Copies of this chain bind each other. A is one copy, B any other.
């Protein structure tokens, strides 16, 4: 139970890990850097998937599936992309095991089953997809292609953390093909907006939309758009990216189309993705020392009913009394669980549902039946109120909406408080150490300065916010002229 959770103040990083493990969301596996996503965690991920999938389909996208493996010669075709991911690629070199002649019962890799060409386990799928698109696209009539894939990917990270950075993770990757640059850029921006909408209205997590600097750009992209969120400890988290890939992959894989005038041109591309990393973002946006807090729209169980009874008879009375409410909530697509386990006491259950983040808890005892009341407890504020049974349905519906918006407003307020405007490098460093958060500061626009600041402070430019107001000033590091502030932070 929650006794096992380190407090945020004591050690935020440990708190995070405790939440993930104690709330049964995920755990480390026997495979270095790979996690097991447990049923409680996967159920939240499923809600995210369903919502995003609907949003993708509403914006005209369809799903498909491409191979897990990428032949090395294809992988290296787009040089920047290959260079960007080469250092973290898992590589399949053999296709068979055999019994160890020295040690029966043990297996060894069969040296005779060596692949002629090694296969890279996809760290991202641009290469295999654009190699495929070459066969799909002849003319402008074949465009646009608006495809998404739900898949696992592997990036051999040296330092891993549950959900935030794992060697294997689950994600979706959209890969679209267009006849013009304008259309591809519009798509990149459209999907950024889908992500921002999802982050703010489902995860209840405010985000800053922006563009990455060249240093932080996706390998192989002309431009990377991103949404950046701020966690409770003042560190930033990149929650989703949408890339304008220009004609880079079309050129690398020779994907041309005949335009309306019959002329051949290279196809324009985008790709965009979010991953199980969002689970980490969710946790670090709302949870507290008692455990997980899940926004109602993503909670697999939105309302839990805990009966407080002394006898089987009492339990049965409560069950019957609460059934109409349970049914009417379910009819409104509100997920309700009635916890009648007799192996645990109500107090234990209360703590468990706090730990697991169920948004609303109903406590109902035999005395409540006499009074026609029940107790409603909110997970976000931990407040309780006794309400009339007859008013419960409408109230619960309203409360779920309130919790959803309260979580967003609270996170937004925190982001506001933790966003600082800063004009000197000394202040910048002190702010980072004392308060963390987002820092809006002037930058001279050079990769060198960006790199120096990163080396010295571990802060990176999270993005150049979209619609950034022009403002003349001097770079906090070099003193050179600058025309806008950019968003710095230390980040996950």
Interface pair A107/B72, CB less than 8 Å apart: yes
Whether A170 contacts B65 in the complex (CB less than 8 A), given A36-B132, A91-B95, A96-B156, comes out as yes
- Considering only residues 331-351 of chain A, those with a C-beta below 8 Å from chain B are 343
Interface pair B37/A64, CB less than 8 Å apart: yes
- Summarize A's interface: helix, strand, loop or mixed: mixed
Chain B residues positioned under 8 Å from A89 (CB to CB) = 95-97
Smallest Cβ distance from A51 to chain B, in angstroms? 15
In the assembly, how many copies of this chain are there?
2
Smallest Cβ distance from A489 to chain B, in angstroms? 29
Interface pair B118/A109, CB less than 8 Å apart: yes
Whether A63 contacts B91 in the complex (CB less than 8 A), given A31-B69, A69-B168, A118-B109, comes out as no
Stretch at the interface among A39-47, A203-211, A305-313, A449-457: A39-47
Interface pair A71/B120, CB less than 8 Å apart: no
Over the window 21-36 of chain A, the binary record of Cβ atoms lying under 8 Å from chain B Cβ atoms (1 yes, 0 no) is 0000001011100111
Partner of A93, one of B71, B79, B94, B154: B94
Interface pair B95/A147, CB less than 8 Å apart: no
> Does A241 have its Cβ within 8 Å of any Cβ on chain B?
no
Smallest Cβ distance from A333 to chain B, in angstroms? 15
Whether A31 contacts B106 in the complex (CB less than 8 A), given A43-B62, A95-B88, comes out as no
Interface pair A107/B90, CB less than 8 Å apart: no
Whether A107 contacts B82 in the complex (CB less than 8 A), given A39-B62, A67-B31, A90-B92, comes out as yes
> Does A128 have its Cβ within 8 Å of any Cβ on chain B?
yes
> Does A98 have its Cβ within 8 Å of any Cβ on chain B?
yes
> Does A13 have its Cβ within 8 Å of any Cβ on chain B?
no
Smallest Cβ distance from A47 to chain B, in angstroms? 12
Interface pair B72/A30, CB less than 8 Å apart: no
Smallest Cβ distance from A70 to chain B, in angstroms? 7
Closest 7 pairs (CB-CB, A-B): A34-B67, A39-B62, A37-B65, A86-B97, A95-B156, A91-B94, A31-B67
A contact set with B: CB distance below 8 Å: 27, 29-31, 34-39, 42-43, 46, 62-72, 74-76, 79, 82-83, 86-99, 105-107, 109, 118-121, 128, 131-132, 135, 141, 147, 151-152, 154, 156, 168, 170, 343
Given contacts A42-B65, A91-B96, A93-B93, 14 further A-B pairs with CB under 8 A are A34-B67, A34-B68, A36-B65, A36-B66, A38-B64, A39-B62, A42-B62, A86-B96, A86-B97, A88-B95, A88-B96, A92-B93, A93-B109, A121-B121
